[in-house]
Amino acid sequence: MKKLLAMLLVLSMVFALCACSSKPAATPAPAEAPAATEAPAEEAAPDASALVSKAFIDPVKDWAKYDELIAQIKAETDFAKRAELMHQAEDILMATNCVIPIYYYNDIYMQKPYVDGVFSNLFGFKYFMFANMSNDADTLRINLASEPDFLDPALNSSVDGACLAVNSFSGLYAYNAEGKTEGACATGYTISDDGLTYTVTLRDGLKWSDGSPLTAKDFAYSWKRAASDATAADYAYMFNGFEGYPNELAVKAVDDVTLEFKLSAPCAYMEDLMAFPAFYPVKQEAVESYADWQTSPGGWCQEAGFVSNGAYVCTGWDHDVSMTYEKNPNWYDADKVKIEKLEFMLSADDTAIFAAYNAGDVDFIDTVPTDEVASLLNNSEFKIIDQLGTYYVAFNAKSKIFEDKTPEQAACMREAFTILINREYICENIGQTGQVAANAFIPLGMADGNGGVFKTDPVEQGYFDPYAISKDPDGTTAKAVELLKAAGYKFGEDGKLSAETPIQLEYLTNTTSGHIAIAESIQQDLAAVGIELTIQQQDWNVFLQERKQGNFDFAREGWIADFNDPINMLEMWTSDSGNNDCQFGR
């Protein structure tokens, strides 16, 4: 009996132990399960609103505030206050991170040793009308760029087009070889005591290239046309300091040689405006004889033979191949023009252009292949000159890549791009001619409109350290990752964007080798955090139009100042500006 009870006791203990060591699959885990078995909590993303600048405004919906500030600057008569307001405007512009400065421009060109008298100013205008050729040739052969977009001076907004304009049209004022303004079609002007009304005296006997008289009425017509909504000129906003802008511009011909116009506020750079191509005259009869002149305002001068009033007139145009300009005997200063003919090679292929120069087929070229620059630095034919402008890249503020982002998140995303770009590498290995890495849109050395310089300390007055990615790559990359996380992106253990939240976008550029090399450098920089950038190359004219119409995500840009005052680099970003490629306020 004891033996039986003992066996029963042993069996009961075994069953009890088995019950304790096994658990049905459906049994829920106890509430007090060890923390080690839980998934780690996801790190909270930084707050994008806390990371943007205090100057930040929504570049699409709130951009009217920027427009109002520019209007205030244009009306301000206290020039010290005006300079302060312009700094505020640049703060707002840079806070969007849509405009990403890369370097401050200088300019390069090559010129044969038998050519002299050609000069260029800080704004990229090249003047050929006073050239001399010691080889007894009467034709100067030039390459500036490929097919020009517009030859109408009111409609052009490219530097190559401006170079053609200054050699074939003449304004009231012009720049001389020292970069100073001097009378061209005008002999002088007076200003009313309040600084608002200008009375300009024209030269006697001015003529169009067809020999017909050119009078003050032609300037009045041309300025009203350039400013009007109907013309839709990119540079129409340059007239917004006039009373009656845009469609009732306060300019009139008092008589054949007297032009009067009235401003809404005093202007410290009026002579510069009078020397700018948008203020050049066009002949009303020539413009309006074109069949579709009202819907295609630039159509009148899209073929050779159009009427102009400058040193040369266009007499031949084989589209996409060449252009010929011949001396205009009716120009007021024709006696000083020694070169009878300008022949332009139309090409953007810098390898072909350089080959043509070396073969002696052209005398002046405005570009060289990037991989040739280092070997040319000690060549006397290779010229490096100062220029007032900024090479930059830009985002379309309305791009679909920002559709699921708050304005602050989009700004953080763009700032990450800004700090990841290695400007030192671009300047030293692609530019190679002493370019300075840029950390602001307004270039170094620009006047402030109040007798001083707009930026006296690029470190203190810049918006970021342009050398940070090369000095501290790990720390700068970590900051970029933090900004992207604030924009809603996730990262893997390898420090790159996760497949869950990729960034894939297209970079738009034209086909010149230097621009492509910069695009490839940026592409490599952004790949460090997993951003996938594809490069789309386009012919010059197509590129200009696609950028202007906002058909891009991210694009190469450059802006050379139109005159030496920050307002011309700030007012181009107003909502209604034709040069507002970022689509601010649109």
Q: For every one of its 586 residues, what pLDDT tens digit does the chain have, with 9 covering 90 and above?
A: 433 333 333 333 333 333 333 333 333 433 444 444 444 456 788 999 999 999 999 999 999 999 999 999 999 999 999 999 999 999 999 999 999 999 999 999 999 999 999 999 999 999 999 999 999 999 999 999 999 999 999 999 999 999 999 999 999 999 999 999 999 999 999 999 999 999 999 999 999 999 999 999 999 999 999 999 999 999 999 999 999 999 999 999 999 999 999 999 999 899 999 999 999 999 999 999 999 999 999 999 999 999 999 999 999 999 999 999 999 999 999 999 999 999 999 999 999 999 999 999 999 999 999 999 999 999 999 999 999 999 999 999 999 999 999 999 999 999 999 999 999 999 999 999 999 999 999 999 999 999 999 998 888 889 999 999 999 999 999 999 999 999 999 999 999 999 999 999 999 999 999 999 999 999 999 999 999 999 999 999 999 999 999 999 999 999 999 999 999 999 999 999 999 999 999 9
The structural domains of the chain, with segments of one domain joined by +, span 48-105+385-573, 113-348
**Strand boundaries in 369-445, DSSP class E:** 382-395, 436-437
- Domain 113-348: homologous superfamily in CATH: Periplasmic binding protein-like II (3.40.190.10)
Single-letter amino acid code for the residue at 347: S
Task: For residue 129, give every residue at least 6 positions away whose Cβ sits within 8 Å of its Cβ, in sequence order, or none.
Answer: 167, 310, 311, 312, 333, 336, 337, 339
Intra-chain end-to-end CA distance of the chain, in Å: 100
Report residue 213: phi and psi, to 5°: -65, 140
Give SS3 for 129.
coil
- Token pair recorded at residue 280: 């050049």
**Number of helices (H) and strands (E), helices first, in the chain?**
18, 21
Give the closest residue to 150 by CA, choosing from 540, 537, 510. Answer: 540
* Third-level CATH fold of 48-105+385-573: Dipeptide-binding Protein; domain 3 (3.10.105)
Residue 55: how many CB atoms within 10 A of its CB?
Answer: 15
Q: What are phi and psi of 190, to 5 degrees?
A: -120, 155
- CA distances (Å), 74 to each of 238, 268, 449, in order? 11, 11, 12
Nearest to 114 by CA among 98, 93, 138: 138
Strand 197-202 to 186-191 pairing: antiparallel
* Chain position carrying tokens 């106890």: 30
